[in-house]
Structure 1
Amino acid sequence: MRVQLFFAALCIFPATAFAGCASNMTTLVSCTAGNGDKALDVCSDGTHVLYRFGTSGQTPNLELIRSILDVDVTPWSGVGSSIWESVTLHNGAFSYEAFSSVARNPEAPAISGGVDVFEDGSPVASVQCDAGSVQTNIDALFEMREAAGLCYDHSTFAWGACK
């Protein structure tokens, strides 16, 4: 059963050169980094989240596919000068937290993003997206998780089964 699910996931998310998220997927965070040398794509088809990072135009160095139920999603708390959100995918001792932020300045709403990498909870790397390259819609993942039966409790800042 597990092999069948893995094969199905590979069919949904084929390993190809970076070209952004597929047309049947929602872009959660996508950008270039390092003056266009690197690319980050985090996408979802409503049931899975795909994380890809590596050299632009080539097969990703790292590709993770996780159920939307198995990723950590931190929605904006409603406080601060920026609207920010993040999605974290786990891979053994490593965690990859992709994030985006939109400055709440109506005259110049700057968008930023990137990915922070942790090993056993300790930061080991941080990649900031190139200015002007960020596409983001992490809040769509909030609705996808609710459709899958999870609810977010704003008082405890935690996800759980809907009641």
Structure 2
Amino acid sequence: MKLAVAVLLAGLPAAAQAGCFGAGEPLFHCRIEGSARQVDICLQDGVALYRFGPMDGAAEMILARRVEDVDLRPWNGIGRWLHEALRFTNGETAYEISYGIDRLNETHVVEARIAIHESGREIARLACRPETVLGLDFMPLFEAKLAAGQSWCPEAGEWRADCVAQ
């Protein structure tokens, strides 16, 4: 699965380092459709960072979460659509970043969005401008979660410290 994702994404541009902080590793970047704002997701020293704000200014929001506290839904390795999502929580509010690529479409157009949930209910959905979506590499976060002692349990669809195949 890891190799298939790498091969498919190899032709896509790498994320802009400017969206990360210092030595942060870029995982995702996009500009919001119809807005002068952008979203950047970075990984640095076991901490995942979510930055939202104007392209040429200070961030309106920065969330820093230990990798154990970020919910990652990795691609299951099957199907036409390569799709992954991750979620940062801030109290009762959750910011879900997701992308999908139609593997059968030769242009590999990326669809990405940020969905904002409050108390479990979606209150906003922000579409990314497809030509600005960069990175699409959640594998470093996956590996950081493994290093932190979590295991992905595909049967249960969740991260656990003690995943046992069913």
- Identity over aligned residues, as a percent? 28
Aligned to 2:66: 67
Between 1:105-114 and 1:69-78, the stretch displaced more is 105-114
User: After the TM superposition, which of the residue ranges 51-60 and 117-126 deviates more from structure 2?
Assistant: 51-60
SS of corresponding position for 2:156: coil
User: Structure 1: which 5+ residue stretches go unaligned?
Assistant: 1-17
Distance 1:156 1:116, change over 3 A: same
2:97 aligned with 1:98:
yes
Structure 2 CA distance for partners of 1:120 and 1:113, relative to 1, 3 Å = same
* Corresponding position of 1:31: 30
Give how far 1:19 is off: 3.3
| Separation in structure 2 between the aligned mates of residue 38 and residue 78 of structure 1, nearest angstrom | 32
The runs of 5 or more residues in structure 2 that have no matched partner are 1-16
Map of 1:6 onto structure 2: none
Which residue does the alignment assign to 1:5?
A: none
Report the CA distance between 1:148 and its aligned residue: 1.2
TM-score, length of structure 1 as denominator length: 0.82
Cα offset for 1:158? 1.3
> What residue in structure 1 maps to residue 149 of structure 2?
149
Which string of whole-angstrom CA distances, capped at 9 and with x for unpartnered residues, describes residues 41-68 of structure 1? 0111140010011222111111110000
Query: What is the CA RMSD across the aligned residues, in angstroms?
Result: 1.9
Deviates more, 1:105-114 or 1:142-151: 105-114
Give a deviation string over 1:13-65, Cα, whole Å, max 9, x none: xxxxx931246222222111134611100111140010011222111111110
